[in-house]
Structure 1
Amino acid sequence: MKVSLWDPVTGRKLRAFAVPDGSVRGMAFSPDGRTVAVSSPAAIRVWDVATGRTRHNFTSHPDPQAVAFGPDGRTVVAVGLNGRVRVWDVATGRTRTVHDGRVEGAAVVFSPDGRTYAVGRNDGSVQLREVATGTVRRTMRDGPITSNKVAFAPDGRTLAISGPGDTVRLWDTASGRARATVTGGHHGRGRMAMALSADGGTLVTSSNLDPTVRVHRLSADRPQTTLPGHAGRYIGEMAFSPDGRMLATVDHGPGRGSAQLWDVRTGDREATLALDTDPALGKRRLPIAVSRPAAVGFSPSRRALAARVTRNGVIEVRDVATGRLRQSRALGAIDTAVFSPDGTRLAIVGMGGSVRIWHLSTGASHTVDPRHGRPVRRVAFTPDGRTLAVVYVETGDEQVTLLDAATGRTQRTIESSTRLPLSLAFSPDGHTLATASGGDGLVTTWDVRTGQLRDSFRAGDEVASLAFSPDGRTLATSSARGVQLWDLATSRTRLTLPARAPSALAFSPDGRILAISTGSSVSLWNVDLPDPARAIRAVCEAIGTTLTPPGTVPLPARSVRRNRLLAGRDAGTRGE
Structure 2
Amino acid sequence: MPYAFHLVPKATDAAARVQIHDSILTDALRPAASSSTAPSFSPEDVFELWCEPQAVFRVRAVGRCSATLSGHASPILCCSQSPTGRYTATGSGDATARVWDMETETPKHTLTGHKGWVLVVEWDGREKLLATGGHDGQVRLWDPKTGQAAGQPLLGHSKWVTSLAFEPVHLVSGKNYSPRLASASKDGTVRVWNTGTRKLEFVLSGHAASVNVVRWGGENVIYTGSSDRTVKVWSGVDGKLIRTLNEHAHWVNTMALSTDFVLRTGPYDHTGKVPKDDDEAKALALARYKAQTANQPETMITGSDDHTLFLWPEQASSSFSSSATPKKPIARLTGHQKQVNHVAFSPDGRFVASAGFDNAVKLWEGKTGKFVASLRGHVAAVYRLAWSADSRLLVSASKDSTLKLWDLKTFKIKTDLPGHTDEVYCVDFVADKVVSGGRDKTVKM
- Normalising by structure 1, what TM-score? 0.46
Residue 382 of structure 2 aligns to a residue whose secondary structure is: coil
Q: CA deviation at 1:477?
A: 0.5
CA–CA separation in structure 1 for the residues paired with 2:238 and 2:215: 14
Q: CA deviation digits over 1:344-397, x for unaligned, max 9?
A: 23212355433211122343322232438x332323223327222223333xxx
CA–CA separation in structure 1 for the residues paired with 2:155 and 2:131: 17
- Report the CA distance shift for 1:375/1:211 in structure 2 as closer, same or farther (over 3 A): closer
CA–CA separation in structure 1 for the residues paired with 2:336 and 2:144: 38
CA–CA separation in structure 2 for the residues paired with 1:502 and 1:149: 29
Q: Aligned runs of 1:388-467 on 2, under 5 Å?
A: 388-394=222-228, 398-428=229-259, 429=293, 431-440=298-307, 442-449=308-315, 451-461=327-337, 462-467=339-344
CA–CA separation in structure 2 for the residues paired with 1:490 and 1:310: 35
- Report the CA distance shift for 1:215/1:352 in structure 2 as closer, same or farther (over 3 A): closer
Q: What letter is aligned with 1:189?
A: F
Q: What letter is aligned with 1:455?
A: A
CA–CA separation in structure 1 for the residues paired with 2:112 and 2:225: 26
Aligned counterpart, 2:41: 189
CA–CA separation in structure 2 for the residues paired with 1:431 and 1:417: 20
Q: CA deviation at 1:476?
A: 0.9
- Report the CA distance shift for 1:410/1:494 in structure 2 as closer, same or farther (over 3 A): same
CA–CA separation in structure 2 for the residues paired with 1:241 and 1:209: 47
Aligned counterpart, 2:83: 242
Q: Is the 8 A contact 2:365 2:371 kept in 1?
A: yes
Aligned counterpart, 1:481: 359
CA–CA separation in structure 2 for the residues paired with 1:420 and 1:303: 34
CA–CA separation in structure 2 for the residues paired with 1:147 and 1:447: 35
Q: Aligned runs of 1:176-575 on 2, under 5 Å?
A: 187-190=39-42, 210-212=47-49, 224-226=63-65, 236-243=77-84, 245-246=85-86, 248-253=88-93, 255-261=94-100, 263=102, 268-274=105-111, 277=114, 291-300=117-126, 302-303=127-128, 305-309=130-134, 315-320=139-144, 322-332=146-156, 333-336=158-161, 337-340=163-166, 342=168, 344-350=179-185, 352-371=187-206, 374-384=208-218, 386-394=220-228, 398-428=229-259, 429=293, 431-440=298-307, 442-449=308-315, 451-461=327-337, 462-479=339-356, 480-488=358-366, 489=368, 491-494=370-373, 496=375, 498-499=377-378, 501-518=381-398, 523=403, 525=405
CA–CA separation in structure 2 for the residues paired with 1:513 and 1:491: 20
Q: What letter is aligned with 2:120?
A: A
Q: CA deviation at 1:467?
A: 0.6
- Report the CA distance shift for 1:369/1:485 in structure 2 as closer, same or farther (over 3 A): same
CA–CA separation in structure 2 for the residues paired with 1:523 and 1:346: 31
CA–CA separation in structure 2 for the residues paired with 1:497 and 1:232: 33
CA–CA separation in structure 2 for the residues paired with 1:423 and 1:350: 14
- Report the CA distance shift for 1:476/1:147 in structure 2 as closer, same or farther (over 3 A): closer
Q: CA deviation at 1:471?
A: 1.7
Which of these two proteins has the greater Rg computed from alpha carbons?
A: 1
- Report the CA distance shift for 1:303/1:438 in structure 2 as closer, same or farther (over 3 A): same
Residue 322 of structure 1 aligns to a residue whose secondary structure is: coil
Q: What letter is aligned with 1:460?
A: H
CA–CA separation in structure 1 for the residues paired with 2:197 and 2:91: 29
- Report the CA distance shift for 1:319/1:348 in structure 2 as closer, same or farther (over 3 A): same
Identity, % of aligned pairs? 17
Unaligned runs of 5+ in 2: 1-25, 170-178, 260-292, 316-325, 411-445
- Report the CA distance shift for 1:385/1:250 in structure 2 as closer, same or farther (over 3 A): farther
Count of residue pairs brought into register by the alignment: 318
Q: What letter is aligned with 2:385?
A: L
CA–CA separation in structure 2 for the residues paired with 1:215 and 1:447: 21
- Report the CA distance shift for 1:401/1:358 in structure 2 as closer, same or farther (over 3 A): same
CA–CA separation in structure 1 for the residues paired with 2:185 and 2:144: 24
Q: CA deviation digits over 1:511-556, x for unaligned, max 9?
A: 34545333597848366779xxxxxxxxxxxxxxxxxxxxxxxxxx
Residue 317 of structure 1 aligns to a residue whose secondary structure is: strand
Q: Aligned runs of 1:30-109 on 2, under 5 Å?
A: none
Q: Is the 8 A contact 1:239 1:506 kept in 2?
A: no
- Report the CA distance shift for 1:216/1:409 in structure 2 as closer, same or farther (over 3 A): closer
CA–CA separation in structure 2 for the residues paired with 1:363 and 1:457: 40
Q: CA deviation at 1:457?
A: 2.1
Task: Give the RMSD, CA atoms, in angstroms.
Answer: 4.4
Q: CA deviation digits over 1:391-441, x for unaligned, max 9?
A: 3333xxx1111111221111111012312443221221463221122242x
Q: Is the 8 A contact 1:487 1:494 kept in 2?
A: no
- Report the CA distance shift for 1:399/1:148 in structure 2 as closer, same or farther (over 3 A): closer
- Report the CA distance shift for 1:516/1:246 in structure 2 as closer, same or farther (over 3 A): farther
Structure with the bigger percentage of strand: 1
Q: Is the 8 A contact 2:131 2:142 kept in 1?
A: yes
- Normalising by structure 2, what TM-score? 0.58
- Report the CA distance shift for 1:494/1:519 in structure 2 as closer, same or farther (over 3 A): closer
Structure with the bigger percentage of helix: 2
CA–CA separation in structure 2 for the residues paired with 1:506 and 1:448: 23
CA–CA separation in structure 1 for the residues paired with 2:364 and 2:144: 34
CA–CA separation in structure 2 for the residues paired with 1:425 and 1:432: 9
CA–CA separation in structure 1 for the residues paired with 2:182 and 2:393: 27
CA–CA separation in structure 2 for the residues paired with 1:427 and 1:501: 25
Residue 344 of structure 2 aligns to a residue whose secondary structure is: strand
Q: Is the 8 A contact 1:190 1:209 kept in 2?
A: no
Residue 417 of structure 1 aligns to a residue whose secondary structure is: coil
Q: Is the 8 A contact 1:392 1:399 kept in 2?
A: yes
- Report the CA distance shift for 1:303/1:403 in structure 2 as closer, same or farther (over 3 A): same
Unaligned runs of 5+ in 1: 1-108, 110-145, 151-160, 167-186, 192-206, 279-289, 531-576
